[in-house]
Amino acid sequence: MVIGVLTLHLHIPMAFSLKDKRQVVKSVTARLRNEFNVSVAEVGGQTVWNEAVIAAVTVSGSRDYAHGLLTRVAQWVENTRLDCELVEFDIEFV
């Protein structure tokens, strides 16, 4: 069993308040859950209004499958989300 953790560091340039940021983060996390069937949570930067750190987690029997899935998640955020910028991402395995 492999547990893969993807950490996404996002910049949200159009967020001028925590309420604006919360809208973007809720939208991103909900879409990731629906599109990729991963567990998602905001894990850092909760008090900064234009940055967010989001983690997505998957459990798999194959390390290659988990890595591929989490890579697709990061690419999806980078390519389809116009309301935030993917600054960096990191994939770790437990």
* CATH number for the domain harbouring residue 37: 3.30.70.1120
Mean pLDDT over 8-24 rounds to 94
Question: 75: which 2 tokens?
Answer: 């690419």
User: What are the backbone angles phi and psi of residue 70, rounded to the nearest 5°?
Assistant: -70, -30
Q: What per-residue confidence (pLDDT) applies to 81?
A: 92
User: What are the backbone angles phi and psi of residue 12, rounded to the nearest 5°?
Assistant: -115, 90
Domain total in the chain: 1
Q: How confident is the model at residue 37 (pLDDT cuts 50, 70, 90)?
A: very high
Q: What per-residue confidence (pLDDT) applies to 45?
A: 87
User: What are the backbone angles phi and psi of residue 17, rounded to the nearest 5°?
Assistant: -160, 170
Q: Which domain holds residue 22?
A: 2-93
Q: What is the Cα–Cα distance from 32 to 24, expressed in whole angstroms?
A: 12
Q: Write out pLDDT tens, residues 45-65.
A: 888 899 999 999 999 999 999
Q: What per-residue confidence (pLDDT) applies to 6?
A: 98
pLDDT over 90 at 90, yes or no: yes
